[in-house]
Structure formats: C-alpha cells, structure tokens
Amino acid sequence: MSALSIKNVWKEYGDQIVLEDVSIEIASRAFVALVGPSGCGKSTFLRMLLGQETQTKGKILLDGEPLPKEPGPDRGVVFQRYSVFPHLTVLGNVMFGKELQASRFAGRLFGAARRAVEEEARAMIAAVGLMGSENKYPAQLSGGMQQRLALAQALIMRPKVLLLDEPFGALDPGIRAEIHTLMKKLWHEAPMTVVMVTHDMREAFTLGTRVVAFERPRDRPEEKLRYGATITKDITIWPPRQAGVPSIFRPDRDGPVSSKGQ
C-alpha cells in the first residue's frame, strides 16, 4: 500500500505564499499528473512529497504516517536532468542504491553479495531496454537512454512512491512516445504510486489515472505575493485506468500502444 494524503498544506517563502490550502487524497497505485502554468508551485509540491522541502503548514501522510523530513528510499525520484551519476557506469548506477543499502560503511559490495545485486541490476537494465550498454558512462548515452537509466536506478529500490519532475520534457517526440510505453509498463508491474509533474497535456492524459491542475485563483500583480496557487481542477481519466489491469480502450488515438492496459 502506498496512499498519499495531503491535508491543508501551505508553503511560504518569507512573505511569498507559493501554495495555499492544498488538500488531495491520492489512492495507492494511482498515477497522478500535475499540470499548471510555470511558477505555480507544482514542482515545489513535488519537492515537499520528496522531503527536499518542508511545508509551512499542514500535513502530508504516506500510508497514515507523516513523511520523514528528508528524502529516503521509500520515495524514488527522476528529475529532468542530473538524475544519474556521471562517474558510474550504467551497471554501477543501477546497482548503486542496493550497494549503499547493503554496505553502510564502504558503500560497495564484493563477491557473492555483489553478484546477486548485479544479477538483479542486469534484469532491471533489460526491463528498461538498456541491454548492451551496461559498461557505458551516462555521457555516452542519449537523453532518452539517460532517463531510462534514471528510472531503472530509482525502481530497483522498489519505492512506494515514484516522483517524476518533468522527466521526459527534454526528449524529442519519438523518443518520448517510446519512453511513455515503458513508463506505463513499469507502472503496471511495480507496486507503486506515481506523481508526475509535466508541461505536456498530452503526456498527462496519456499516462495518468488522474490529472490535477495547479493555478493561482488570484493572479493580479498586487495579489501575487499574498495569494498562492492551489488545486483548481482534478480530473479523473475516464474510462478509468487501473494499475496491472489491461484496458480495452485506447484513449490516446495517436499514442503508443502497450500490451497491458492504456
């Protein structure tokens, strides 16, 4: 289970109110797409779910427990850039989390323990379609492959919640369609809730079970400082998508088709 419950959350930077009174219940295994104009605080909201920032007021609960004040392995993340480590190979990047978890002092594994993790990592690399690139460094990969790597690196930790901050924003449309197919497959297979910030409406409606819009209800220049953004639209995709359940519908006519549900 991995349900998120956000209750009356406010975020202020000094006098500037960024988010006001945001409340939303996110069911376990949902795929929530956050959309909205630039600077409306959706990335700030995501960083609060991540634990990188703390809310000024209100509560964020994961499975009924308050979120820890810093990022941890229960919440995975993929950013638009800098999500992978340039000094590690593809294999090293994917094994990294497991190595850190198992070896608290050296942060490295050797022998049989390493081989076990390596096997798991290779399976994960295959699952995101990066076979054959195990020994390459991120600088030798294309943008799309780097994001696949970032997904594999996050997912091997089996996070309860996967947070995506415009992960596919910098990719060209063809590559983006391919990675959407992969993203759906991963969401169907891994027991996790996904929250994704995006600027691309089509991406939001292609991938999400629910599209949530952040906006500033009061946006006159003199109001900007004292009134923040909040949730103005909350659209549940119909026909409903459910993780792990194939769907007979194809809601996105031009989009990629995956074997399991749309």
What residue ranges bind another protein (CB under 8 A)? 50, 52, 70-73, 75-77, 79, 81-87, 96-97, 100-101, 104-108, 137, 139-140, 150, 153-154, 157, 159
Comparison of 76 and 255: residue with beta carbon closer to another protein: 76
Q: Minimum Å distance from CB 107 to another protein?
A: 4
Q: Minimum Å distance from CB 89 to another protein?
A: 8
H or E stretch covering 100: helix 90-102
Comparison of 157 and 207: residue with beta carbon closer to another protein: 157
Comparison of 104 and 220: residue with beta carbon closer to another protein: 104
With tokens 């798991």, the residue in question is 120
Comparison of 196 and 237: residue with beta carbon closer to another protein: 196
Residue 118's CB is within 10 A of a number of other CB atoms, namely: 17
What CA–CA distance (Å, rounded) separates 113 from 102?
Answer: 9
Comparison of 42 and 241: residue with beta carbon closer to another protein: 42
Q: Minimum Å distance from CB 101 to another protein?
A: 5
Q: Minimum Å distance from CB 76 to another protein?
A: 5
Strand ranges (DSSP E) for the chain?
4-13, 16-26, 31-35, 57-62, 65-66, 75-78, 161-165, 193-197, 210-215, 230-236
What CA–CA distance (Å, rounded) separates 110 from 117?
Answer: 10
Q: Minimum Å distance from CB 34 to another protein?
A: 18
What CA–CA distance (Å, rounded) separates 126 from 192?
Answer: 20
Q: Minimum Å distance from CB 156 to another protein?
A: 9
Comparison of 89 and 258: residue with beta carbon closer to another protein: 89
* Number of helical (H) and strand (E) elements in the chain, helices listed first: 6, 10
Report whether 44 contacts 19 (CB < 8 A).
Answer: yes
